[in-house]
Amino acid sequence: MIPYAPERILVQEESWQDSVTLEILERLPGVEVRTVKSREVRFPEPSQGSPAPWEDKNTLFLLRHPGSFLKRCQGSGADTCCNYYVLSCTWNCHLDCSYCVLQSYLGGRALVVGTNFQDLMREVREKLGSSPHRIFRIGTGELADSLALDPATGFSRRLVPFFARLSNGFLELKTKSDCVANLEGLDHGGHTVVSWSVNSKRICRTEEEKAPTLEERLAAALQCQKWGYRLGFHFDPLIYYDGWEDDYREAVGEIFRSINPERVAWLSLGALRFPPHLIGHVKKRFPESKIPYGEFVPGHHGKMRYFRPIREAMYRKMISWIREAAPGLTVYLCMESFAVWEGSFRIQYPGPSFTPDRLDAAIIKG
């Protein structure tokens, strides 16, 4: 993958006091840098119809995040929650997958980095300290790719050793990238899982064009496995199309021919879902995409989804292929109802295939 190379960097005036700001600028020499006085100037109206810099992914914003970095995963209205927390220190992504909800969710297209990292770490320490006997699984991949910007930010080199010192905190770095060089040699203490969002080769090629190939992602995963990290995989979103069975079965097989199943903490499955207004963005920005022309119905929180029988059939087949390759692996569904769990796993919910405690145990045992 080609590392992110912005054409311009906008620095909020207050961010100059943060060491993160200077470190990022040192890693991106020769880029135009401009100071802005307030975070409120992020998304003003473009003048004369010309694109403003904050509407361009070639712009990197460095600013002090005024809100909370750490939040409970909302689960999008699903009946069950895996007790996951999300830690947001960057926002937006330059990999530009056609189906990405961020293109309709965030207020602009620029990539944004929070520079007040001390506030982030203090917030995590306070949260974990408030419940010292509870295990917290915390991921950074909700509003940005966890590692795609890491060559510029170096955040992994701060986060991984930080979590290694937290007795009840475990970090998940979720990515589509192969930017893992900063993870080498870090004292992770078994408290970091590096996970990959994966898909069939056809979807990687047609809907994730700027992301590394499946083979490149697995090569990066294998490298992290050699460095002692536990791994995770997320087939999310699963996309339904003619021939999906052969393609996804091949992808499952390729993963476990490359990766030792005993080093995988978990694998999740989630069918394509999106807010209705995303379709307009996809048609405009990705006219070759076939995603807008699938058959969808409103589901949780009004998000569009495949019909429930289609989702359950996809999950059942995926689970059977995963069980063939990795019989003891923890597999769970993301943002689904009790009924879909029962229809997919052929269990009476909450059967033995999934509980939040089992996910916590899956990471701790490594």
Residue 362: the pLDDT is 63
**Is 69 among the domain residues?**
yes
Average pLDDT over residues 301-312: 91
* Mean pLDDT of the region 286-311: 91
What's the pTM value of the predicted model, to 2 decimals?
A: 0.92
Residue 127 resides in a domain? yes
> What spatial distance separates the first Cα and last Cα of the chain, rounded to whole Å?
29
Please count the structural domains in the chain. 1
At 80-124, the pLDDT tens digits run: 667 789 999 999 999 999 999 998 776 568 899 999 999 999 999
134 inside domain: yes
Do the domain assignments include residue 1?
no
Is 318 within the bounds of a domain?
A: yes
Report if residue 13 sits inside a domain. yes
Helices and strands of the chain, counted as H and E runs: 12, 16
pLDDT score at 50: 44
Tokens for 148, please give them: 């795609």
Is residue 162 assigned to a domain?
Answer: yes
Distance, in Å, from the CA atom of 347 to the CA atom of 354, rounded to the nearest integer, reads: 10
Structure tokens at 256: 């476990």
Give the lowest-confidence range in 44-48, 80-84, 310-314, 348-352: 44-48
Question: pLDDT grade, residue 132 (50/70/90)?
Answer: very high
Backbone angles phi, psi at 63, to 5 degrees: -150, 160
In a domain, 2, yes or no: no
Q: What is the pLDDT of residue 81?
A: 66
Average pLDDT across the chain, whole number: 89
Using DSSP, state whether 347 is helix, strand or coil: coil
Lowest mean pLDDT among 75-84, 135-144, 181-190, 299-308: 75-84
- The reported pLDDT for the residue numbered 244 is 98
Residue carrying the six token digits 């078994």:
190
Look up the CATH number of the domain holding residue 247.
3.80.30.30
The pairing of strands 136-139 and 84-87 is parallel
- Sheet containing 273-274: order of strands: 273-274, 304-305, 297-298
| Residue span of the structural domain in which 102 resides | 8-43+50-364
